[in-house]
Amino acid sequence: MPAADVFPLTFRLTVRKVAASGFNLAVSALLPALLVFLGLRASYGTAMKLFLFFCPYVFLLAAQDMVGTELAGGALENVLFLRGAFRSYLWLKNFVLAAAAGAYVSFLFALLAAWGFVRGDFDPAFLIQFGLALAGGFYYVGLAGALSHFLKAGSNVVMILLVQLAAFMGLLLSAASRTGLIDYLETGRFPGLWPRLEFIGFIAVFPNLAVSRRLTAGGFVIAAGLALALLFQRGRLRRLELRK
C-alpha cells in the first residue's frame, strides 16, 4: 500500500474501533452531563476544574489495546498491510487517537468557555491549563501505546491506573511527614534534589496534576515523557516483524 494511503486507512479503522466501544460512548455522554450538573449545583469553577483534571483520561481510555491484540489476532497480515505498512499503521494510531480525543475535549472546553464568558466567570488562565491537560492526554496516548507492545486488550490502561493507585497510596503515607511530597505539591516548591526527583516521578505517573497553577512546571516533564514514549515506540516498530 502506498504510504499516502496509510493515514486514511488508519483514521477510518481507529475511529471506528473507538466508536464501537460502548464504554467509550457512555463516558463521552456522561462527562458533559456531569459537568452541567456540577456547574448548576455547585459552581462553574468546580465544573471547569474537574474537566481540566479528568479530560486527559479521555485520551487514556481511547488508547486501550493499541498494539497487542492486533499483533496477536493476525489482522495485520491482511494484504492492506504488505511491505511493512503495518508499522506505519501502528505508528499513526498514536496521532489519530490523540487527534480524535483532542477534538472531543476541545469541543467540551469550547462549550464550557462559552458558558463562562456568558456568566463572566471565565479565567484566561484556563487556556493555559487546558493546554497542559491536552499535553497530559497526549502523554497518556504515548505511554499506553508503549505498554501495548507488551500487554493485550485493555491491560495497558489497567496497568497505568494500578500504578497511579499505588502512587496515590504512597502520597497518603507521606502525609504523616511534615515535609512530605504532599506538602511540596500544595506549595509548588520542591527544595533539594530528592523532592524534585519525587516531583518528576509523580508527574510522570499523574500528568493530570500539571493543570494545577502551582505545578505547571510539570509540563516539561510531560513533554520529555511523551518524547521518550514515542521514541521507544518508533524503535520498537522498526524492529517489529509479524510472526508467521
With respect to residue 244, please indicate whether it lies within any of the assigned structural domains: no
Each residue of 22-77: pLDDT tens digit? 888 888 889 999 999 999 998 999 999 999 999 999 999 999 888 877 777 666 76
Domain assignment present for residue 171? The answer is yes
Compute the Cα dihedral for 128, 43, 106, 28 and give only its sign: positive
Mean pLDDT of the chain: 87
Number of domains in the chain: 1
> Is 232 among the domain residues?
yes
**Separation between Cα atoms, residue 18 and residue 225, nearest integer Å:** 24
Are the C-beta atoms of residues 18 and 97 closer than 8 Å to each other? Answer: yes
Q: Which residue shows C-alpha cell 503495518?
A: 86
Give the separation between CA 17 and CA 37, rounded to whole angstroms.
Answer: 30
Whether residue 210 is predicted with pLDDT greater than 80 in this model: the reply is yes
State how far the Cα of 44 lies from the Cα of 41, in Å rounded to an integer.
Answer: 9
**Cα–Cα dist 188/99, whole Å:** 31
- Whole-number percent of the chain with pLDDT over 90: 53
pLDDT tens per residue, range 104-160: 999 999 999 999 999 999 999 999 999 999 999 999 999 999 999 888 878 999 999
**pLDDT for position 223:** 96
User: Does residue 159 sit within a domain?
Assistant: yes
H or E element that contains 134: helix 125-147
Q: Report percent pLDDT > 70 for the chain.
A: 90
Contact (CB, 8 A) for 187 and 214: yes
Q: Which domain holds residue 89?
A: 3-239
**168 belongs to a structural domain:** yes
Q: Is the pTM of this model over 0.75?
A: yes
Instruction: Tell me what the mean pLDDT of segment 163-174 comes to.
Output: 84
